[in-house]
Copies of this chain bind each other. A is one copy, B any other.
């Protein structure tokens, strides 16, 4: 690591000034073709590689995009949802030659930290915030401070750019499926954390659909989870321990459904025979459970893709829109969802 060959070395040996060497290497048309060739030759010979940090320093930009997720690394790397997000983002950044910086919080309670790490350092040219609570004040500081930032989720405030899915319609459709196709007149719900707008909106969609059929959600039929497998497990345990357990449950995401199925299994029950289940996300896991999950598909990868693309637009001026259906008011982009019918709801249909 010591004494790397620097531009100065190249220049000296090539017998030109540092400025010229720099321009030669950066294909600046100002330099004579002969000179460039010589410089490039020497550079190759000396195995010169530009010092990226110095470059960033002088250009005052980092070539890095940070994804801020106010959860622990353990949470983030065990939820398949984030894999999809990362994948979508990476695809875009690769195209632009940018680097991805995943910023998590050391402790689940420590919301501050993930933001501060970025904010304090100014170590990214732009930020994508994913899975923030609607109440998360820190998240909004980015935008207020004029940092280029895109939110993933339903953040509809003025002055904020966001990319989300139609949680409401998805939940509505899921609920109606259980009511209209399978004839249930009572539904339970295992929700995500209700200070997250995704969880809140899915609950709203459920309630609205129930109401459309003159039905209600019993307070004891609602369990607020946190999108983790564990929460689904506990939630389902609770529900089946009720005096009169519900026969159909809408679960806020697939991972919780996995936990719920586990709870059913341990109680000697099974879906859809004893309890019909519909959930949300359609991550890879959803096809693997038994029964495979009927679930509302959201275009997770596209969310990441889109967020990154919008951010890069802001940073560079380019434009590229994806292929999923989406609506936008210029600031808030919303993708559509669709119900994927498998077997956990009682349907006997296909498997993918």
Point out residues on A near B: beta carbons under 8 Å. Answer: 1, 4, 49-54, 56-57, 60, 62, 73-74, 77-78, 83-84, 86-87, 90-91, 94, 99-102, 104, 106, 119-123, 146-147, 258, 265, 284-285, 288-290, 351
Asked if B121 contacts A49 (CB within 8 A), the reply is yes
Chain B nearest Cβ from A148, distance in angstroms? 8
Supply 21 A–B pairs (Cβ within 8 Å), ascending by A.
Answer: A1-B122, A1-B146, A49-B121, A52-B122, A53-B53, A53-B62, A53-B122, A57-B57, A73-B86, A73-B94, A77-B84, A77-B90, A78-B87, A78-B284, A83-B83, A94-B104, A99-B123, A100-B101, A285-B285, A288-B289, A290-B290
Alpha-carbon distance A57/B51, docked complex (angstroms): 9
The closest CB in chain B to the CB of A89 belongs to: B73
Additional A-B contact list (17), CB under 8 Å, known A49-B119, A94-B104, A285-B285: A1-B147, A49-B122, A53-B122, A53-B123, A54-B57, A56-B57, A73-B94, A74-B87, A78-B87, A78-B284, A83-B83, A90-B104, A99-B123, A100-B102, A101-B101, A288-B289, A289-B290
Give every chain B residue within 8 A of A120 (Cβ-Cβ): 49-50, 52
Alpha-carbon distance A251/B335, docked complex (angstroms): 39
Asked if B83 contacts A4 (CB within 8 A), the reply is no
Chain B nearest Cβ from A28, distance in angstroms? 19
Give every chain B residue within 8 A of A94 (Cβ-Cβ): 73, 104, 106
The closest CB in chain B to the CB of A100 belongs to: B102
Chain B nearest Cβ from A262, distance in angstroms? 8
Query: CB < 8 Å: which of B1, B106, B122 contacts A4?
Result: B122
Give every chain B residue within 8 A of A74 (Cβ-Cβ): 87, 91
Give every chain B residue within 8 A of A51 (Cβ-Cβ): 122
